[in-house]
Amino acid sequence: MDYPKIYVNFAAYSSIEKGNLIVRKHGILNIRDFEKLDVGEIVDVYSKKGRFLGRGFKNPHEIRIVTLKKEKIDENYVRNKIIEADKYRKFLGFKDAYRMVYTQSDWLNGLVIDKYNDIATVQIFNYGFELMKDTIVETLLDLGIDSIYEKSTGRNRRRAGLKEQEGLLCGEKTETIIKEGNAKFKVTFGGQKTGFFLDQRDNRLELEKFIKEGDRVLDVCCYTGGFSVHAALKGAEVVGIDLSKKAVELAKENMQLNGIDDSKYEFRVGNAFEIMEEMIEDGEEFDVVILDPPAFAQSKKDVKNAVRGYHLLNRYGAKLAKRLLVTCSCSHPIEPMEFKAIVIDAALKANKWIRQIGPYRTQPADHPITSKGTEYLKCLFFKVDGF
């Protein structure tokens, strides 16, 4: 079958060649032809000179390329790709809680599925998959999922020009308890992201190696207590900070779920910068400081302000840390080496000498990295010394 042909400029062509499978409107040459098409219609993308680049769906403000082949995109395609993605995770050893589908890395550009035992969350930011939602649900049911919750919200949904949608698609369960090493966590829908930050799993487990009995740990932007629980299970006393009262309440529940005495932890709701500044003024110190903020930069235009934010956060973090600084960024536009340079300079400004421990760490294998556009998480462990 012949699909409408959309021609793109050299910049878009070059971007696709590097693995970025999203074409913005400003990269389309025959924009009038694009505008005439129905949202969700399948299109073929070509270079100006007529080279086939990929096949995908029209969205209001972009094209999401789904395949680089001239293959049929239909319900069977979606079903088979979801099954293949799940098999791949199981091959890697993932069992109960993992990212089942990670957008273009699984040839389902604009679809994210997270599995938590027998419940799953679905994010859709490609109108073509919006039209195949029933197929997605049926496939997940066949794979043993009982309840499915849609959380099609946030920047990617809005940027695609699609209305946000949230709610149960199937079943009744909206929470479950998952295991992560020796830790247990309650996962519930309605909070940030898709219920839990699965992408920090390996880094949370790595943290346990560095915690000593009686350590005082500061967990900044703690969300539902992922790092906090792992630190407390190793005998640390934890102070967590988060702007969300709802997240903090769930963090407390997770501490209780793991049998941690309430004398061993404290959670504060508020602005992390302001609270950390007060701690510094009060002369507080922590053996270990963990910084895991939300993305400060969503696009290149945000980078300048993001750099300032990361620098200040890490200066405060280094100032408060006596032995270990664990610092993270999920801002895709911030390059790994740039982030490391920010952290090192911030520590020097705090009169701290830091030494990197181990390699630069990123997201786990259930969030497969297939191109620059699919790698976003940066996590660094540093030994901290004063001078």
Alpha-carbon distances, residue 234 vs 60, 167, 320 (angstroms): 50, 37, 21
Q: How many other CB atoms are found less than 10 A from the CB of residue 296?
A: 19
Q: What are the start-end ranges of the H helices in the chain?
A: 10-17, 31-36, 75-92, 127-130, 133-142, 155-159, 201-207, 226-233, 245-257, 272-281, 303-320, 336-349
Alpha-carbon gap, residue 288 to 267, rounded angstroms: 16
Closest C-alpha to 240, from 218, 208, 262: 218
Alpha-carbon distances, residue 15 vs 10, 32, 53, 299, 372 (angstroms): 8, 22, 11, 15, 10
Alpha-carbon gap, residue 362 to 277, rounded angstroms: 28
Handedness of CA 44, 153, 330, 159 (dihedral sign): positive
Alpha-carbon distances, residue 305 vs 31, 331, 334 (angstroms): 33, 12, 11
Can 221 be counted among the known catalytic residues? no
Candidates 221, 222, 328, 330; catalytic one: 330
Letter string b/e over residues 202-230, b meaning 16 or more CB atoms within 10 A of that residue's CB: bbbebbbebbeeebbbbbbbbbbbbbbbb
Evaluate whether 328 touches 291 at the Cβ level (below 8 Å).
yes
Q: How many other CB atoms are found less than 10 A from the CB of residue 325?
A: 27
β-partners of residue 151 are 166
Closest C-alpha to 232, from 262, 264, 186: 264
Q: How many CA atoms lie within 13 A of 210 on its CB side?
A: 23
For the annotated catalytic residues, the residue numbers are 330
